[in-house]
């Protein structure tokens, strides 16, 4: 048989505006499957993979090249669920499928307020969702047929998404003849 493209299984990107539920979905999915949860924000923090401070948004600026170097090996082997609120700087070859979570404005507003966001930061994130910025970014960065929008408004959506993605993973693994 041909060598598996990803010995440890598919690489999945979960992206979307902050507050849409990426970490919740990605962590539950990792528990439910045997894929590894890769939270880019946490990896950057742990390794201090930053290159300065964004005055406008009052947050550190990700050192994208170092993040990519750090992850190259694990991504090549496959079997990762990557969680990040952006998607254009990752190598296109890393991902087999991309999910963009979408949340209704009123629901998202409340989630971000509960997280302590206010003023410009809150408004900017709501605008990001209204203008489907991340969805467009994903469609510009990956083949459109691997980019899927998923509603993420309530617990039923979460369950549906978990089921759909798990089924997709199983199919992928079966098609490539198992996980090494
Ligand atoms: P992100 O990682 O995209 O910023 P989180 O996973 O941290 O988002 O979720 C933001 C908040 O919304 C959390 O309080 C989480 O419990 C809640 N949440 C996430 N997904 C759902 C969902 N499908 N239904 C209801 N609440 C959700
Ligand atoms: Mn998160």
Summarize pLDDT for 152-176 with one digit per residue, the tens: 999 999 999 999 999 999 999 999 9
- Ligand 2 is an ion; residues with CB less than 5 A from it: 23
> Which residues, at least 6 apart from 138, have a Cβ–Cβ distance to it below 8 Å?
13, 15, 87, 98, 100, 147
Question: What sign results for the dihedral spanned by CA atoms 169, 175, 178, 180?
Answer: negative
Q: What does the buried/exposed string (b/e) look like for 46-75 if buried means 16 or more CB atoms within 10 Å of the residue's CB?
A: eeebbeeeeeeeeebebbbeebeebbeeeb
Residues in the chain: 180
Determine contact, residues 169/80, Cβ cutoff 8 Å: no
Q: What is the pLDDT of residues 123-141, one digit of tens each?
A: 999 999 999 999 999 999 9
User: 72 with 27: CB under 8 angstroms?
Assistant: no
Give the atom of ligand 1 at the shortest distance from the alpha carbon of 24.
6
pLDDT reported for residue 108: 98
Residue-level pLDDT at 179: 85
Cα 152 to middle of ligand 1, angstroms: 8
What are the two backbone dihedrals, phi and then psi, of residue 5, each rounded to the nearest 5 degrees? Answer: -65, -40
Residues in contact with ligand 1 by the CB-under-6-Å rule are: 16, 18-24, 111, 152, 154-155, 157-158
Given this model, what pLDDT does residue 2 score?
60
ipTM over 0.95: yes
Counting residues of the chain whose pLDDT is more than 90, the rounded percentage is: 91
H/E stretch holding 177: none
Residue 1 predicted with pLDDT over 60:
no
**What is 11-164's CATH number, 3.40.50.11540, 3.40.50.300, 3.40.50.410, 2.102.10.10?**
3.40.50.300
| Rounded CA separation 161/164 (Å) | 5
Q: What is the pLDDT of residues 26-38, one digit of tens each?
A: 999 999 999 999 9
Question: From the CA of 112, which ligand is nearest?
Answer: 1
Joined together, the tokens standing for residue 120 give 């410009």
Please give the C-alpha separations between residue 99 and each of 15, 70, 113, in angstroms, as whole numbers.
6, 23, 24
Q: Token digits for 118?
A: 């206010």
Q: How many whole angstroms from 77 Cα to the centroid of ligand 2?
A: 24
- Testing ligand 1's pocket by substitution, the residue of 25, 111, 151 carrying the most ligand atoms inside 8 A of its CB is 111
Task: Considering every ligand atom shown, identify the ligand nearest to the alpha carbon of residue 109 and give its number.
Answer: 1
Task: List the domain boundaries for the chain.
Answer: 11-164
Give the three-state DSSP class for 60.
strand
| Residue 23 known to bind ligand | yes
At 95-117, the pLDDT tens digits run: 999 999 999 999 999 999 999 99
Instruction: Show the tokens assigned to 72.
Output: 């190259």
Query: For position 55, what pLDDT does the model report?
Result: 84
Q: Which ligand is nearest to the CA of 27?
A: 1
Neighbours of 29 (CB within 10 A): 21
Q: Give the other-Cβ count within 10 Å of 34's Cβ.
A: 12
Q: What is the pLDDT of residues 41-95, one digit of tens each?
A: 999 999 999 999 988 777 899 999 999 999 999 999 999 999 999 999 999 999 9
Atom of ligand 1 nearest to the CA of 161: 23
User: Would you say 22 is a known binding-site residue?
Assistant: yes
Q: What is the pLDDT of residue 164?
A: 98
């Amino acid at each position: 048989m041909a060598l598996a493209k990803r010995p440890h299984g598919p690489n999945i990107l979960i992206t979307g505006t902050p507050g849409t539920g990426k970490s919740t979905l990605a962590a539950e999915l990792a528990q439910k499957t045997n894929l590894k949860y890769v939270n880019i924000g946490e990896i950057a923090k742990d390794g201090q993979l930053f290159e300065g401070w964004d005055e406008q948004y009052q947050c550190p600026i990700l050192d994208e090249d170092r993040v990519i170097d750090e992850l190259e090996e694990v991504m090549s082997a496959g079997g990762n669920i990557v969680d990040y609120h952006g998607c254009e700087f990752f190598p296109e070859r890393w991902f087999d499928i991309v999910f963009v979570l979408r949340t209704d404005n009123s629901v998202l507003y409340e989630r971000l307020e509960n997280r302590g966001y206010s003023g410009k930061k809150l408004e900017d994130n709501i605008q990001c969702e209204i203008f489907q910025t991340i969805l467009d970014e994903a469609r510009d960065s990956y083949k459109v047929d691997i980019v899927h929008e998923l509603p993420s408004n309530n617990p039923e959506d979460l369950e549906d998404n978990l089921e759909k993605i798990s089924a997709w993973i199983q199919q992928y693994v079966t098609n490539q003849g198992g996980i090494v």
